[in-house]
Structure 1
Amino acid sequence: MPRYLEGWLADVVKISLNRERINKIRERPIYLLSKFIKSVTNKNAIIAEFKRKSPSGLNENRNLEEYVKFMEESGAIGISVLTEEKYFGGSYSDLEKAAKIVKIPILMKDFIVTEKQIDTAFNLGADAILLIVKILTERELINLYEYARNLGLEAIVEVTDENDLKIALRYDFNIIGVNARNLSSLEVNIRNVGKILEMIPKDRIKIAESGIKNKEDIVELKKYGADAFLIGTTLMKDPNKIKELI
């Protein structure tokens, strides 16, 4: 593992390797995130994230059921649920509860490094997973992507810099997320997102992630080709912000 992933990120990856597989029968149909994003007209495609805390200082104790219902009713086209426990306070239980409530795509947001995590995402009702280029080898990225697709799940392939993007563009990944947060320093730089979004071909779905605080940020990111916006901290602090962001 590269040196810049030492510390908390390396720690969370090790924890992910030991996560237990959840074996349950999936009853929820699969809602394709790509179709929901493409169907958006005359508004912004918002993926509202539920997370209880984050290394950057967030610490909210919101009711998950109320939050996801409100986001769906307010027009969000997807829900992202943090399931990583140590640093984000998430749980598989949160994912399972959300899947029983909403009828829009659900993203399992975690540091996915094993097929058993993808099995769990499928079994608990997730429709998409996150694959972070920075923490996977190229072979791992391809294998996990194909494994998810064989289950019918979509995958957001997340990049944070040009080197990540070069890897992602070697393959036919249809959804690419650009994270404004540097995974090593945790600093957020939205300008960097615009720069990378411009490099992504128009035939890919492009999602801007992290650091979005207001409508102006969204307008700016759309100039660079963003098709959807994954927003966590801003909405967790003030759920009513969804109305002005959409």
Structure 2
Amino acid sequence: ADHGATCLSILTDKKYFQGADEYMQQARQACSLPVIRKDFMIDPYQITESRALGADCILLIVAALTPSQLHELADYAREISLDVLVEVHNHAELELALELETDLLGINNRDLHSFTTSLDTTLDLSKHIPAGKLIITESGIHEKADVELMHANNIYGFLVGESFMRAPQPGEKLQELFST
């Protein structure tokens, strides 16, 4: 927060990302920024749990859900006053996401099969998102030029994880990426 972050994305998935529910509580105690719970949400119970853990927002990954699950979970999250960041990787997923009543659309630049990243994913998909939605580019932001490229294409929301986790001083890396 001291270096300009506006929100924290907290991994709680243990199996694939070595996250933990305790990280949510630690983040809540450390600062007052809004917190996104980043996990594989597949059940309404997890959304109730997210609220209890102090989340302000949850991540719903379109690739991990059926269309009916996606709608059910998004509706339930809103019912209990949680924001929803809907994550897409391609055009088909974007079409499903646009059916939801959410203003937060995350475009993940990481290919789920090869795990390579390409910022072209955000540049391509963002052209198909109506005005009024906050586009958040996810994955693949490593240097200031990446941020500048997104800004040049009217993308102002960023979810940066790996670059900060690998940096010896994450706050300094944040300033390096986003300083004007």
Any idea what the Cα deviations from partners look like across 1:12-51, whole Å, max 9, x if unmatched?
Answer: xxxxxxxxxxxxxxxxxxxxxxxxxxxxxxxxxxxxxxxx
Could you tell me how far 1:129 is from its partner in structure 2? Answer: 0.4
List aligned pairs for 1:133-172, cutoff 5 A: 133-172=62-101
Match of 2:131 in 1: 202
> Secondary structure of the residue that 2:18 maps to in structure 1?
coil
CA contact (8 A) 1:83 1:109 kept: yes
Q: What does residue 173 of structure 2 align with?
A: 241
Residue 14 of structure 2 aligns with an amino acid whose one-letter code is E
Contact 2:108 2:121 in 1 (8 A): no
Q: Helix, strand or coil: the match of 1:203?
A: coil
Q: Residue 43 of structure 2 corresponds to which residue in structure 1?
A: 114
1:218-237 Cα distance to aligned partner (Å, 9 max, x none): 11112333231000111111
Q: What is the CA–CA distance in structure 2 between the aligned matches of 1:86 and 1:166, rounded to whole Å?
A: 29
Deviation at 1:99, TM superposition (A): 1.2
- Regions of 4+ moved over 4 Å: none
Task: Report matched runs for 1:51-200 at 5 Å.
Answer: 72-200=1-129
Matched, 1:225 2:154: yes
Distance 1:170 1:109 in 2: 21
Higher relative contact order (CA 8 A, sep 6+): 1
Output the CA distance in 1 between the equivalents of 2:19 and 2:101: 31
220-229 vs 98-107, greater mean Cα deviation: 220-229
Larger radius of gyration: 1
Which amino acid in the other structure matches residue 3 of structure 2?
S
User: Is 95-104 or 204-213 further displaced after alignment?
Assistant: 95-104
Measured in 2, the distance between the counterparts of 1:223 and 1:202 equals 16
Instruction: State TM-score, norm by structure 1.
Output: 0.69
Distance 2:45 2:135 in 1: 27
Partner of 1:192, secondary structure, is helix
Question: Retained in 1: the 8 A contact 2:74–2:100?
Answer: no
Q: Which moved more, 1:127-136 or 1:190-199?
A: 190-199
Contact persistence 1:198–1:225 (CA under 8 A): no
Aligned partners of 2:119, 2:83: CA distance in 1, in Å? 25
Q: Which runs of 5 or more residues in structure 1 are unaligned?
A: 1-71
The gaps in structure 2 that reach 5 residues or longer are none
CA deviation after TM superposition for structure 1 residue 202, in Å: 1.7
CA RMSD of aligned residues (A): 1.1
Report Cα offsets for 1:199-234 as digits up to 9, x if no partner. 111210110000100111011112333231000111
Match of 1:49 in 2: none
- Give 1:139 shift: 1.1
Identical pairs, percent: 35
